[in-house]
Structure 1
Amino acid sequence: MTDHPLKRRIKKYQIQYLNQNFVDQLFVSYVYILTQIDFTR
C-alpha cells in the first residue's frame, strides 16, 4: 500500500508546524531571559 499524497503533505505540514512552534518557544524564552536580565541590572 503506497502512501497517499495528501497524507504525506499533512505529515510535512505537521513537521513544519512543530519546527515553527519550537522556534517560537525559543524566541519567547530568549526575550524572557533578556527582560529578566534588564530588571536585575
Structure 2
Amino acid sequence: AKNLYVIAVQGIKGRLNRLPAAGSGDMIVATVKKGKPELRKK
C-alpha cells in the first residue's frame, strides 16, 4: 500500500475531531487510500 488512512490506534482515547497519532510498533486500524486494487477497501 502506498497510502494508509489511520482510523484508530490501540489504547488511544482521543479528542473530538482529532486524528489519532501512531508511531512504529503501535497497533492501528487503517484503510488503504492508494495502492493495489486487491488491497483497497479491506
If each structure's strand is expressed as a fraction of its own residues, which one has the higher value?
A: 2
TM-score when normalising by structure 1: 0.18
TM-score when normalising by structure 2: 0.18
If each structure's helix is expressed as a fraction of its own residues, which one has the higher value?
A: 1
Larger Rg: 1
